[in-house]
C-alpha cells in the first residue's frame, strides 16, 4: 500500500470522503421519501462530487505519476482509499442518512472554515470555494435533525437508533496522527483539538434542539479509513461506482 507525503494523504482524505459520501447520497435517486427531497439529496451529492474532484486533482498533481482525478477516483482499490469510515456506511433508512450527513457536515464545515486560512494557497482556495456549499449542507441537515428528532414519537425513536448505529465511527473525526500534527504545526491544517471542540459544540447544540441524546465520545477500534483499513461496505460501493471505468478503461463518449 503506497503512502504519500502528509499533505497528499490529507488531500486524499478530503477527496475520498467527499466522493464516497456523494455516491451514497446519489443511491437515493428514485428512492427518496419525496420528489423535492430526492432533488435536494442529488444536489448535495453533486456538490460533494465536485469538491472531490478539486481535492483529487490537487492530489494527482502532487503525486505526479500520470494519473488524474478520474483515475484516482475510479482506478484505486479499497485499501488505497483514505475516506472516513462514517461516510462509507450504508444509507439505512432516511434517519440514518440524515444523521450521517449531519455529523459529516459539521466536521467538514469547521474544517473548511479553518482551511480557508491554510498556509497552502491551493488548499485555502479550494476550501473557500467549497465552504459556501457546505454551509448550506450543514444548515439543511441540522434542520432535518431538529425536524425528525423533535417530531413524532416514531421519528424521534428512529433518529435515536440512527445515532446509535453510526456514532462509533465518529472517532476518526478527531484522530490526529504524526502526519497531521506536522501539517498543523506548519499552519496547513487546524489543530485537531480545536477542530474537535468546534465539532462537538455544534453537534451538542443541534442534538439538544432536536431532543436527542448526545453519546459519549467514540473510541477508536481496529478499523481506520485513513490507513486503508475499511469496513466491508466500501468494497461493495466501489465495485458499483467503478464498474464502467474498469470494464471500459479510457473509453470516450
In Å, how far are 30, 37, 209, 225, 231 from 100, measured between CA atoms? 20, 16, 17, 16, 16
Domain presence at residue 39: yes
Of 237, 238, 197, 177, nearest in space to 10 by CA: 177
Domain presence at residue 1: no
Domain presence at residue 252: no
Contact 72, 15 (CB under 8 A): yes
What was the pLDDT predicted at 36?
84
Which pTM value belongs to this model?
Answer: 0.96
Q: What is the pLDDT along the chain (253 residues), one digit of tens a residue?
A: 678 899 999 999 999 999 999 999 999 988 878 888 889 999 999 999 999 999 999 999 999 999 999 999 999 999 999 999 999 999 999 999 999 999 999 999 999 999 999 999 999 999 999 999 999 999 999 999 999 999 999 999 999 999 999 999 999 998 888 899 999 999 999 999 999 999 999 999 999 999 999 999 999 999 999 999 999 999 999 999 999 888 888 877 6
In 72-114, the DSSP E strands lie at none
CATH code where residue 175 lies? 1.20.1260.10
What was the pLDDT predicted at 34?
82
Contact 119, 49 (CB under 8 A): no
What was the pLDDT predicted at 45?
96
Cα(first)–Cα(last) distance of the chain, in Å?
A: 33
Q: Which residue reads 466500501 in cell numbers? A: 234
What was the pLDDT predicted at 1?
61
Cα dihedral sign, 108-111-114-117: negative
Counting the structural domains of the chain, the total is 1
Domain presence at residue 253: no
Domain presence at residue 138: yes
Enumerate long-range contacts of 184-190, CB under 8 Å, 24 or more apart. 186/119, 187/118, 187/119, 188/7, 188/10, 188/118, 188/119, 188/120, 188/123, 189/10, 189/111, 189/114, 189/115, 189/118, 189/123, 190/111, 190/114, 190/115
Residue 220 belongs to domain spanning: 6-247
Neighbours of 166 (CB within 10 A): 21
Domain presence at residue 188: yes
Rounded Cα distance between 126 and 33, Å, is 33
Contact 19, 87 (CB under 8 A): no
Domain presence at residue 192: yes
Domain presence at residue 232: yes
What was the pLDDT predicted at 233?
97
Amino acid at each position: 500500500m503506497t503512502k504519500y507525503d502528509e499533505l497528499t494523504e490529507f488531500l486524499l482524505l478530503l477527496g475520498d470522503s467527499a466522493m464516497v459520501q456523494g455516491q451514497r447520497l446519489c443511491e437515493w435517486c428514485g428512492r427518496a421519501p419525496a420528489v423535492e427531497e430526492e432533488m435536494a439529496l442529488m444536489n448535495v451529492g453533486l456538490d460533494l462530487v465536485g469538491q472531490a474532484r478539486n481535492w483529487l486533482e490537487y492530489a494527482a498533481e502532487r503525486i505526479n505519476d500520470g494519473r488524474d482525478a478520474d483515475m484516482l477516483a475510479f482506478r484505486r482499490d479499497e485499501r488505497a482509499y483514505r475516506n472516513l469510515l462514517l461516510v462509507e456506511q450504508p444509507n439505512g433508512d432516511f434517519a440514518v442518512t440524515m444523521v450521517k450527513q449531519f455529523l459529516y457536515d459539521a466536521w467538514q464545515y469547521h474544517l473548511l472554515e479553518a482551511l480557508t486560512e491554510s498556509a497552502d494557497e491551493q488548499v485555502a482556495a479550494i476550501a473557500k470555494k467549497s465552504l459556501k456549499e457546505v454551509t448550506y449542507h450543514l444548515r439543511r441537515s441540522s434542520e432535518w435533525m431538529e425536524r425528525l428528532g423533535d417530531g413524532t414519537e416514531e421519528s424521534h425513536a428512529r433518529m435515536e437508533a440512527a445515532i446509535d448505529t453510526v456514532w462509533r465511527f465518529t472517532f476518526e473525526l478527531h484522530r490526529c496522527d504524526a502526519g497531521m500534527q506536522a501539517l498543523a504545526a506548519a499552519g496547513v491544517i487546524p489543530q485537531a483539538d480545536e477542530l474537535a471542540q468546534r465539532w462537538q459544540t455544534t453537534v451538542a447544540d443541534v442534538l439538544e434542539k432536536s431532543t436527542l441524546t448526545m453519546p459519549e465520545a467514540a473510541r477508536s477500534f481496529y478499523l481506520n479509513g485513513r490507513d486503508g483499513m475499511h469496513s466491508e461496505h466500501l468494497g461493495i460501493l466501489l465495485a458499483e461506482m467503478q464498474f464502467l471505468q474498469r470494464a471500459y478503461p479510457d473509453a470516450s463518449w
